[in-house]
Structure 1
């Protein structure tokens, strides 16, 4: 359906992007001594500094005009109000509702989860030999793994009630590595699959179930619980209904860590920690629902991405958490953003008019500085960066933490200010290099600068602040779906490979011949190598 207001807003924005100085950031600081303060926005414990981007006052005005034309706030209100915002599947997107509130079904599920955690932690629910559970293994993949694994890693401490392990890859090497650290008598296993048919998850579940039964007899099946809506399949696997925790179809996998899928988090951290995670996310929900557009953190983050992707043509973004505990946060965002926004089809079924779904990648700092930061500093195409910093650590090594923060801020500054050819030549001359050496080497040591980054600062990494951070990015994704006129809540692109895997498996088992020539050739090569022993 044509939207003349949106077309005009896009045209105005792209006109600004064609200006010769559209990518320049340093002049914005030169013209505004208060830029860092003016472009830092806060919600709860999260401070978002967008000053190191080339979003100027007139660019922001154009972006906000686009948001109005695309009715982003209307989309937000429909989503948070339970309206159908996933039209290809005819569903609402109720992940925010899982964080608590007035929904009776959500409250009932949370109450069951809390009671289960209390029984496990208190010793009322023990293993087959009467020993308390010390470890929980979550078997899932995609959203049933990435979000919970990220949170559990980020927030676990030695004082936590249980250790959590995450088994996702169908490659059994993953199970072998985890199994070596477990005592079956003390291990609780969660099978996380909404349909209880996901191939990778059910293959791994069968391996782990066999391990429990081998060690403990049929009583080993009492160590199993399920995060699923398929009660009959779970029962057939040996998991009774009272050990099955469901969640609605309106909760997409990559948004599901707040639901029953988060049971491993609650077991690992304790219920109070999980409740604080939910409360932190709720506080970001409230900010998203009520803050005006010009200070609404999820919307501002989304609009900045539109400027970078559509205005300036930057096809990727790096996420660099300067906190080792957030090492898996980039992986979580990879799924959250690329599975949600990697769409070439608009809501009306036509072709998306503009670029969407940038590549998201990252590693924790300072590791990234010795990995891919070369490309980010001197590669031909700028890559915007999200730096995530935590002001106060939960360890006593103040010197290490100061150096960590110094490196993060220095990287952001280096991307901004760069180093000119004149500066390089002057440095080399002062160090004693001759004219020939300077002429040969100076071009390689120039940094263009004016490379954008955002800086997010948390006071501490706690369940509450992590909940705020994750919800910030979830709502950013929703805003981008509205801005780009795509559905961020379906993921049809993952289906074809799943379907084809069945036929390929039959070929590898010798029950069929792969129909596609290249696949058949690869299968034949693998079978030959396997036959050689």
Structure 2
């Protein structure tokens, strides 16, 4: 059986903080949102903060001033602002003390630190300048692509964060897409996905972006080779169509096979990669470099907000502390992320990976098994469709599921109409605001089937319009929120060992598949895997 250290290095500080003890006491009798006179217009006006064009509205959380004060104390005891400053300055934050680990800086914020008041630390400045070199290379490449005018489509081959984040951003900003600049995505090693995408494009007018830092990721390597063969079968030279985003010196860093090679570094994790070259190539090709630059500016602006020591002026920190209140003290295991904006249809999947891969950890940064809950389960779908899907359980089911709504005052296209006295956008927002109220207050009824218990906490992240700047700020808001949660729990939010075991065992099963093809029988070194292969026949 695998074991973890029982060293007393950190003594699981989270459970021992004075603020944690205070919050446990407050959680025994949380604010009652259903009580008449508790949820008022004044309360809604009171519990709001603004940053980067967003309002965080949290009056429908089960909080009071006393709770916020205790959460502020928790953040102070956990030294989360100091840790955020250290992360953004390039300190080695991706590590487990006393055990072999990645021992890396975490520098995704440096990939967008081109604007006002950049970081002055040597490590952060060097990372930003290295990224600037790649962006200049990208601008030159795009100028050539534009002048030749032969590419109309881009297929992005990646997996996990190198797929989910860039795809979410692309779909969110699709309204700005340049004419005849389409993007397609291949992630799974599912041949049907590749066949479908190839069926959607004219290969002679298609770029293929292969994304893998190591150049050896199983899914990406396999899909790259598959796609390369398809181009060769079509009589096309892959070198004139394929570009890569990889680490220097990797198998994908090969100018004989790629039209251009762009670089990233070990200090950029996949789930934090969208503002780095992973997203830069895709978004600049489809939306234009200026739109990508505005995306970076929004992310950088929210990074600066995350450094503010005042929780009432630090939206990522407030969001993190509200989640910790719901999760660690009120006992909610999951959170539903519901954008009332169809353009954010893939955003919940991105945040699901960002949050759960980052904070799904059972040891702290000293290798000690934690005695409290860490990462929440994130999931969600866009509203109002979600209302007709799973809201029944949220309103009247037995589990308490907090919600985070995301909405915008204005639509992206501006093409709307008045029907029955209101626009579609007003109807969309009307539903979002009403759900927040209904979940909080509930409804009494003599018929138990029509009774709603209420006290379902929620909060709203509300912006004016989903622009590139707003999208960048939203990405950064969640990235920094997730980091603050990890800092509070004193876990390493920047590795993903839980992904590795499945990869290792998958390679053993794949070897058995190869043996079965070559010799007619499984390899025999992995009996459990071979047992599954015996059931391939029907």
Contact 2:292/2:468 (CA < 8 Å) preserved in 1?
yes
1:18 to 21, 28, 31: 28
Consecutive aligned runs of 4 or more in structure 1 exceeding 6 Å deviation: none
Partner of 1:173: 192
Q: Which runs of structure 2 are paired with 1:99-498 in the superposition (5 Å)?
A: 99-101=112-114, 102=125, 103-123=128-148, 132-157=150-175, 159-161=177-179, 162-217=181-236, 219-231=237-249, 233-234=251-252, 238-240=256-258, 243-262=260-279, 263-290=281-308, 292-393=310-411, 394-398=413-417, 399-420=423-444, 424-425=445-446, 442-498=447-503
**Displacement of 1:4:** 9.2
User: Per the alignment, in what secondary structure is the counterpart of residue 245 of structure 1?
Assistant: strand
Distance 2:31 2:248 in 1: 52
User: Is the helix fraction higher in 1 or 2?
Assistant: 1
Q: Which runs of structure 2 are paired with 1:47-62 in the superposition (5 Å)?
A: 47-62=55-70
| Distance 1:524-1:105 versus aligned 2 partners, 3 A rule | same
| Distance 1:29-1:302 versus aligned 2 partners, 3 A rule | farther
Contact 1:160/1:268 (CA < 8 Å) preserved in 2?
yes
1:499 aligns with 2:504: yes
Distance 2:415 2:294 in 1: 24
Contact 1:343/1:486 (CA < 8 Å) preserved in 2?
yes
Contact 1:317/1:383 (CA < 8 Å) preserved in 2?
yes
User: Per the alignment, in what secondary structure is the counterpart of residue 353 of structure 1?
Assistant: coil
Distance 1:232 1:350 in 2: 35
Contact 2:14/2:489 (CA < 8 Å) preserved in 1?
no
**Displacement of 1:269:** 0.7
Distance 1:359 1:29 in 2: 33
| Distance 1:418-1:514 versus aligned 2 partners, 3 A rule | farther
| Distance 1:28-1:171 versus aligned 2 partners, 3 A rule | farther
1:524 aligns with 2:534: yes
| Distance 1:271-1:367 versus aligned 2 partners, 3 A rule | same
**Displacement of 1:284:** 0.5
Distance 2:66 2:524 in 1: 57
**Displacement of 1:120:** 1.5
**Displacement of 1:28:** 9.1
**Displacement of 1:473:** 0.4
Partner of 2:75: 67
Q: List runs of 5+ in structure 1 lacking aligned partners.
A: 127-131, 426-441
User: Per the alignment, in what secondary structure is the counterpart of residue 210 of structure 2?
Assistant: strand
Contact 1:28/1:56 (CA < 8 Å) preserved in 2?
no
| Distance 1:370-1:4 versus aligned 2 partners, 3 A rule | closer
Deviations 1:200-246 (A, max 9, x none): 111111121112122233x2321000000154512569534x71111
User: Per the alignment, in what secondary structure is the counterpart of residue 52 of structure 1?
Assistant: coil
User: Per the alignment, in what secondary structure is the counterpart of residue 244 of structure 2?
Assistant: strand
| Distance 1:209-1:150 versus aligned 2 partners, 3 A rule | same
Contact 1:144/1:253 (CA < 8 Å) preserved in 2?
yes
Q: List runs of 5+ in structure 2 lacking aligned partners.
A: 1-9, 96-100, 115-124, 418-422, 517-521
Deviations 1:138-172 (A, max 9, x none): 00000110000011111113751411111101111
1:8 aligns with 2:13: no
User: Per the alignment, in what secondary structure is the counterpart of residue 460 of structure 2?
Assistant: strand
Aligned residues: 498
**Displacement of 1:476:** 0.3
Moved more, 106-115 or 475-484: 106-115
User: Per the alignment, in what secondary structure is the counterpart of residue 92 of structure 2?
Assistant: coil
Deviations 1:325-352 (A, max 9, x none): 1000000000000000100111111111
**Displacement of 1:10:** 1.2
| Distance 1:28-1:456 versus aligned 2 partners, 3 A rule | farther
Distance 2:270 2:383 in 1: 28
Distance 1:144 1:362 in 2: 20
Moved more, 407-416 or 147-156: 407-416
Distance 1:139 1:220 in 2: 14
User: Per the alignment, in what secondary structure is the counterpart of residue 251 of structure 1?
Assistant: coil
Contact 2:81/2:308 (CA < 8 Å) preserved in 1?
no
